[in-house]
Structure 1
Amino acid sequence: MKQIFYISLLILILVSCKREKGNSITEKPKPNKIVLISVNAPKEYVHLLKQDSIGKKLKDSVGPKSFWRNNGFTYLDYMNNVKTWQPKANVSDTITIETFKDYLELSTNNFFTSIAETFLVKNGDTVVFNYEHNIPKGRIINREVSDVELNYNSFRLKKLFNNKYTSHFLIFGNLFLNENTKEYEQKSIEYYNQAKQDFVKEVALLDSLKNNNVISQTNYLYRLEALNMLMEKHKKSKNIKKWITQNKSLGDKEKIEQVYGFDLTKTDSLMKFSFFRDYLNYISQYDLNLINENNGSSGGFYIDSRIRFDSILKDKRFNQTAKNFLLFNAYNGIGENFRVKDKEKYFKKLQKHTTNVYQLDKLKKDYKLDFSKSNELVLTNQANDTLTYSNLLENNKGKWLFVDFWASWCIPCRKTMPESNKLKKEIKAGNIEFIYLGLNDKKESWKKAIKMDSISDSQNYFIENGNVSKVIEDLAIKTIPHYLIYNPNGELVNGFAKRPGQGAKEQLKKLIEEK
């Protein structure tokens, strides 16, 4: 009951109109906009996986690194579209966001915690963001607000965790930091129990900040709900869920976890908050079993998003606003992990059941969801001339072909290019053609990478319809880099060729000599 009270009070505060002091009749007109100014945003958000404190110098480190090239500020616009503003790097950049609500939440990813870096700002605010160790620090210039309230995430990180990895992060993050991966599950449970203790400490900290007027009642309730949702997210981890189930069977009431939830009749008011959108995603997983996909050297785990999509449609708990959000989320899972026939089938369902035309058009444009040419693999060269994959094979009959599926953003792909250039020189006399096909890439980035990697003298093509082409499926290309070898008759003789520098030379020489 206490949790529901917090939620109801939060809604009341955030949707009610506040009147001017000394004037009980007229209300100050809302400006209906929020201005964001970013000063010298980093080009890349770099973090060392084994670095356990912010503020250390990254330049000379040789430890494992994680790069986020597209960090930015995510928010829900007045049409309930989730958008992200990516500020220009190393300059001042500005955006004006139209809004008709009292508050807007801005969120950005933070490497050091498992909770998003969020800023709750008011309609009419102008917010300036500077960056400390690649983490944004906000300042509101049109009204007085405490630094702790606006930049609470950075404050809690220092106050409670000494600017080190939090217990919340380590529940999953210890997988990357611990040398002994066998201890991962046990460590996760230990960090989960620590996180529960840290949760109690943070609630006490929030109470103290509110009682001493350091943060407002609105911000207090907002941060409390975000923290509750963070704890709920931990419980969906496979080994944590298993551990909780075992505790339930023991019948120890002190160990039984409390279920946390929202009043879904308030969806339209709560949708603006990322923690509520996380909650919607969480409860719409329906405890579906994970599918384990193993592609040799790579693979992954995912749920059957087709079942999830159909379940969301039937779920009477969700209004149209929630379904608009969740159906797109479920379709992304279908697009990433299932066949073209499923993508087409469920895109038609999405068209039928969503009212968000903007998001539908964006999805279709971003992923080039034109199913009319699914039987072909459509290619364009750097001069934007078009041909199909079958045309390409026909044009190169009489030659051995080494076909490289790659992308400018794919680090393993790019690292192999020097070896690929070396291989070309070593077997040049073998009547062989090297063909590079850019998959799931951006055309401008692809063109730049061709020059940087010195492969301009080979045949380069950009795949225009990789997301909807059955040819990609037939070739079993699920990860990149991926290499194919064709003989002079245009026949595929190796659909999983080895990488240049890692056995490709030996494979090619053997095939050519046998021929």
Structure 2
Amino acid sequence: MIRYTIFFLAIFLYSCQQSQSINKKCEEQIVVCFDHYQPKPYKTPGGSKHIPMPKVLYTDNTEVLREYMPEADFDTITLQLPEHFKELALNYRDFEFIYYPLMQGDTITISMDSLDYPILSSKHHPERNRIYNMNYELRKGRTHSGLEAKTCLGSDWVRIAQNIDVIRANNWTSLLMNYCPLDSLQSMFNSYKTAYTDTINLFKQQQIISDKIYNHYQYLLALKDYESRRMLNEDTAFYRRMEAGISDEYASYPSYHEYLDYYLWFTNQHIPTIRKSQGGSKDWCQTFDELSAKPFQPKSMQILLERCIKEISENFSAQDVNHYLDKYLQITQDTTLYNNIKGQYNLSADANQLLLEDIQGKTTNLSLLLKKHKGKVIYVDFWASWCVPCREEMTPSAKLRESYKGKDVVFVYLAYNDTKDSWKKAVKQEGMAEIENNFIITNSKNSKTLEAIKLELIPRYIIFDKQGSLVEMNAPRPSDEQATIIINKYLKQ
């Protein structure tokens, strides 16, 4: 009898240990369920839009930033966390990210309201819903064009407000529809900040959030403040104020990557050659050199230099890219990005050809394409998934293509300085998956063909005649009525 008692006691203790282990494991993760979470593309009242951004961001166990897009009506991800909360980022309308410190051991369902704003619901702790949806309540009455005031203050709405007299004089309707006075935007944002601070103070007083989550909410408010300062800030040394907040301690937060983006923005305002250059893209090499001399911790340094490398890869020659890739590898020891960039831009490829790959992975080159379509007029569209003006031309391009259906005109789409994943997503979004002559350029960096046509800015359109000769170095874009006139000219020859 004693033997059986000991046996059952052992089983009971083992079961308890297993149960405790399972409970501990559950507490160390968060289950996120997406209920019909599929936000639609958005345009402001004046027609402004952004390139589609990742819908969900989080960091994995190695603190690497991951992107996620729920594909089904009901989808689930499980987040592992080393501390008592995990930050999740949800994209709103491709203009702004909302950051949620989700608490340990929770199961959360994410749906949308009628305006596609994320709504969070806790399965085990419904009392947390008011915390998770804090921003949803605070933004009411404090938005413009459906966006937070800080988003407008950190973007082109500032330029519209500063030039409103010219805009009115020219009756530029679309810009007028997006107009909001700067003092109104600032007032909305100040009201938001006051309400935000009052809310998190109340949560802390009621002891429904920990000190750590309280501090994190303060950090997120500071992040919003940095965004609001970007367009109006004239202090070229402002970046120094942000350097105190650069720490590997925050590397597990998706919001920290945005923090570092703002830091780079203000750093580039400090560099005169970047301030003078359009878009600040011409001297990312100088930015790299300045940053690499600073005493940042390893993870933060890698994130910053990785951004520089990506910009250098898009805007500089193969020689410069190779040079800075070697520098990057020496500083960070990160072979992953090094190999990815080498592969993405095919830096060791034959420079005498323009190498192409279609959506199925089949390869060809421009010379073979011209031979294949000899006897037809060829209209070539250089574009990229990240290029807003390029993508705005896709609808007019589809109409132009349809108007020449059955005629000796071939439309060729060549993605320039793009990644295969981003290109494929954009192809699907633009309804181009079934187009035969749709390629990504696999040696954008070292092709002498691109040097010969001096391809620096996109969108860019060129035309080859029926003999395969380049006859239009800068053809009209599809939305231009002249495009039809010029194509018809070569079609009649």
> Structure 2 regions of 5+ residues with no counterpart?
1-20, 168-174
Query: How big is the shift at 1:200?
Result: 3.7
Counterpart for residue 311 of structure 1: 290
Partner AA of 1:128 in structure 2: T
Residues 193-208 of structure 1: pairs in structure 2 closer than 5 A: 195-196=189-190, 198-208=192-202
1:49 and 2:11 equivalent? no
User: CA separation in 2, counterparts of 1:502 and 1:313?
Assistant: 49
Q: For each residue in 1:33-91, what CA deviation from the matched residue of structure 2 results, as whole angstroms up to 9, or x when unmatched? A: 3322111112x4343412xxxxxxxxxxxx636477554221122212111221114x1
Query: How big is the shift at 1:437?
Result: 2.9
Counterpart for residue 325 of structure 1: 303
User: CA separation in 1, counterparts of 2:95 and 2:348?
Assistant: 44
Secondary structure of 2:345 counterpart: coil
Partner AA of 1:305 in structure 2: W
Query: How big is the shift at 1:303?
Result: 5.7
Secondary structure of 2:182 counterpart: helix
User: CA separation in 2, counterparts of 1:139 and 1:512?
Assistant: 60
Counterpart for residue 344 of structure 1: 322
Counterpart for residue 398 of structure 2: 417
Are 2:143 and 2:188, in contact at CA under 8 Å, matched by a contact in 1?
Answer: no
1:168 and 2:150 equivalent? yes
Q: For each residue in 1:311-365, what CA deviation from the matched residue of structure 2 results, as whole angstroms up to 9, or x when unmatched? A: 221111x111111111111122223333333233223333333244455555566
Secondary structure of 1:146 counterpart: helix
Structure 2-normalised TM-score? Answer: 0.75
Q: For each residue in 1:344-396, what CA deviation from the matched residue of structure 2 results, as whole angstroms up to 9, or x when unmatched? A: 3223333333244455555566xx23211161321245775532223333555
1:231 and 2:225 equivalent? yes
**In 2 relative to 1, CA 293–105 (structure 1 residues): closer, same or farther, beyond 3 Å?**
same
Counterpart for residue 391 of structure 1: 368
Q: 2:453 aligns with which of 467, 475, 489?
A: 475
Residues 365-514 of structure 1: pairs in structure 2 closer than 5 A: 368-373=344-349, 375=351, 376-380=353-357, 385-396=362-373, 400-405=377-382, 410-423=391-404, 428=407, 433-439=409-415, 440=418, 456=436, 460-465=437-442, 467-470=444-447, 471-478=449-456, 480-487=458-465, 490-500=468-478, 502-510=481-489
User: CA separation in 2, counterparts of 1:315 and 1:162?
Assistant: 39
Matched-pair identity in %: 19
Are 1:436 and 1:461, in contact at CA under 8 Å, matched by a contact in 2?
Answer: yes
Q: 1:139 aligns with which of 121, 129, 146?
A: 121
Query: How big is the shift at 1:92?
Result: 0.8
Q: 2:66 aligns with which of 65, 83, 94?
A: 83
Query: How big is the shift at 1:198?
Result: 4.2
**In 2 relative to 1, CA 229–262 (structure 1 residues): closer, same or farther, beyond 3 Å?**
farther
Counterpart for residue 9 of structure 1: none
Are 2:291 and 2:305, in contact at CA under 8 Å, matched by a contact in 1?
Answer: yes
Q: 2:312 aligns with which of 331, 334, 356?
A: 334
Residues 268-283 of structure 1: pairs in structure 2 closer than 5 A: 268-283=248-263
Counterpart for residue 79 of structure 2: 97
Query: How big is the shift at 1:144?
Result: 5.4
Partner AA of 1:188 in structure 2: L
Counterpart for residue 108 of structure 1: 90
Query: How big is the shift at 1:495?
Result: 1.0
Structure 1-normalised TM-score? Answer: 0.72
**In 2 relative to 1, CA 64–403 (structure 1 residues): closer, same or farther, beyond 3 Å?**
closer
Counterpart for residue 6 of structure 2: none
Secondary structure of 2:481 counterpart: coil
Counterpart for residue 11 of structure 1: none
1:353 and 2:328 equivalent? no
Secondary structure of 2:310 counterpart: helix
Query: How big is the shift at 1:491?
Result: 3.3
Between 1:159-168 and 1:201-210, the stretch displaced more is 159-168
Secondary structure of 1:279 counterpart: helix
Q: For each residue in 1:440-497, what CA deviation from the matched residue of structure 2 results, as whole angstroms up to 9, or x when unmatched? A: 46576688689869855xxx15234154343334433455553212345543221111
Q: 2:164 aligns with which of 151, 172, 180?
A: 180
Partner AA of 1:88 in structure 2: E
Are 1:498 and 1:504, in contact at CA under 8 Å, matched by a contact in 2?
Answer: yes
User: CA separation in 1, counterparts of 2:304 and 2:433?
Assistant: 40
**In 2 relative to 1, CA 361–408 (structure 1 residues): closer, same or farther, beyond 3 Å?**
closer
Q: 1:40 aligns with which of 32, 36, 40?
A: 36
> Structure 1 regions of 5+ residues with no counterpart?
1-25, 51-62, 249-256, 295-299
Partner AA of 2:31 in structure 1: V
**In 2 relative to 1, CA 160–230 (structure 1 residues): closer, same or farther, beyond 3 Å?**
same
Counterpart for residue 54 of structure 1: none
Q: For each residue in 1:147-170, what CA deviation from the matched residue of structure 2 results, as whole angstroms up to 9, or x when unmatched? A: 221222212213866996443233
**In 2 relative to 1, CA 448–342 (structure 1 residues): closer, same or farther, beyond 3 Å?**
same
